Amino acid sequence: MSDETRLTELRQKFGRQPAAPDETTGAEPTPREAQPRFRGLESGHRACQGCGEALAARLVMECAGPDVMVANATGCLEVFTTAWPESAWRVPWAHSLFENAAAVASGMEAAMKARGRNTKVLAFGGDGGTYDIGFQALSGMLERYHNVLYVCYDNEAYMNTGIQRSSSTPHAATTTTSPAGRERMGKRHLKKDLLSIIAAHHIPYAASASVAFPQDLQRKVRYAMGIDGPTFLVVHSPCPLGWRHESRLTINVARRAVECGLFPLVELERGSLTNVMPIRDQRPVTDYLQLQGRFAHLFGDDPRAQQKRDHLQALADYNVQVYGLTGAGPDPADTGGAAAVGRSGVAAGRR
């Protein structure tokens, strides 16, 4: 069976077909209708209400599938989608260890190549599995130039095992292993700049995305999928449980992270910055921090609180400066991000 026939079969079985122009009027379908809506990750899994990671994975799978295979590091995504004997995945999916999703994906890709198939391999990991424990395998996969799209669902802590800090946890956030208290104001260290390290491998494409901007996220996935070689995407994915915000605020929290400059949305090709999502009106970081219980200690009477808030503002301003985020161009608030997410029933308030 040819790849094309197999793809058509998969789409008929699992997904909505891309709409064609209207037969009588000839009207073109809207961009959304023209997309194949492949549901590689089904509903009915066991993620917490408002889980950003679940939404991010669904958005990625919608436009990456159906002709893909997934290697998934252990973590929340793996656990909430595969409670034995059930699975929410509609693609070939392999559980890997915490530390080796990239190595497993490399092997899958090499095996498919040996069989003469061009099935694309995806590797998924949380920030613990990517920034920290799986980093060595990831670096090797990029350097060996495997044809794999690696997606890191960045919820900024080891959520699956009880909200431990990772090297992606932001400065001053409280976690179970960086608790705010008399000794210190949450995490002492800075969030690791993983994207710059990935870009230093000079791979064809590396980018950051956010669940608050699904169209931008899906454009980046489609672009990465079209590249023959290693590509990388880190998706900012709020976790209501670990960030201690209301479930209905997931999109708002993610949006504010971008609007204040703490989570810049950028694209790098072969190590060079090629595109950014500009911020027309930069929000103060406090607009982002105050929605989340993990930063609640920064708004109390402690004299160190102001210093930490200033530090976080300086980090956001630094991002705005080095990536050139201010200036003309489309504003994130104009891109229909949150409104587009509303179709899934997730609260879609803009601010």
Ligand X SMILES: Cc1ncc(C[n+]2csc(CCOP(=O)(O)OP(=O)(O)O)c2C)c(N)n1
Q: Which residues bind ligand SF4 (CB under 6 A)?
A: 47-48, 51, 53, 76, 80, 155, 159, 239-242
Per-residue tokens: 23: 């037969």
Least CB distance from residue 153 to ligand X, whole Å? 6
DSSP label of 133:
T
Q: Which is nearer to ligand X, 109 or 127 (CB)?
A: 127
The one among 10, 89, 90, 99 contacting ligand X by CB under 6 A: 99
**3-class SS string, 197-264:** HHHCCCCCEEEEEECCCHHHHHHHHHHHHCCCCCEEEEEECCCHHHHCCCHHHHHHHHHHHHHHCCCC
Total residues binding ligand X (CB under 6 A): 19
Instruction: List, in sequence order, every residue forming a beta bridge with 322; answer none if it has no partner.
Output: none
The verdict on 316 binding ligand X (CB under 6 A) reads no
Task: Supply the minimum distance, in Å, between the C-beta of residue 149 and ligand X.
Answer: 18
CB of 251 to ligand SF4, least distance (A): 13
Residue closest to ligand X when measured from CB atoms? 126
Site string for ligand X, 131-170 (x = CB under 6 A): ----------------------x-x--xxxx----x----
Q: Closer CB to ligand SF4, residue 80 or residue 98?
A: 80
| Binding pattern for the stretch 23-62 against ligand X, x by CB under 6 A and - elsewhere | ------------------------------x---------
Find out whether 229 and 260 touch, Cβ atoms under 8 Å.
Answer: no
Say whether residue 127 binds ligand X (CB under 6 A): yes
State the minimum distance, in angstroms, from the CB of residue 201 to ligand X: 20
Taking residues 163 to 202 in sequence order and writing x for each that binds ligand X by CB under 6 A, - otherwise, the string is: ---x------------------------------------
Distance, CA of 277 to chain centre: 15
**Exposed, middle or buried: residue 301 (CB in 10 Å: 0-12, 13-18, 19+)?**
exposed
Q: Whole-angstrom Cα distance, residue 54 to residue 161?
A: 17
- How many angstroms from the chain centroid is the CA of residue 254? 11
Dist CA 205 CA 215 (whole Å): 18
CB 77 within 8 A of CB 124: yes
Cβ-proximal residues to 55 (8 Å cutoff; 6+ apart), any chain: 211, 237, 250, 341, 344, 346
Of 155 and 169, nearer to ligand SF4 (C-beta) is 155
Bridge-based pairing of strands 205-210 and 266-269 is antiparallel
Q: Where does 144-203 have alpha helices with state H?
A: 194-199
Total Cβ atoms within 10 A of residue 269 = 18
Residues belonging to the chain: 351
- Minimum distance of ligand SF4 from residue 239's CB (angstroms): 3
Is 106 a binding residue for ligand X by CB under 6 A? The answer is no
Task: Identify what 15 binds: ligand SF4, ligand X, none; CB under 5 to 8 Å per kind.
Answer: none
Nearer to ligand SF4, 103 or 241 (CB): 241
Q: Smallest distance from the beta carbon of 247 to ligand X, in angstroms?
A: 16
Q: How far is the CB of 126 from ligand SF4 (least distance, A)?
A: 8
User: Considering the complex, what minimum distance in angstroms separates the CB of residue 52 from ligand SF4?
Assistant: 7
Interface contacts to ligand X, rule CB under 6 A: 53, 74-77, 98-99, 125-129, 153, 155, 158-161, 166
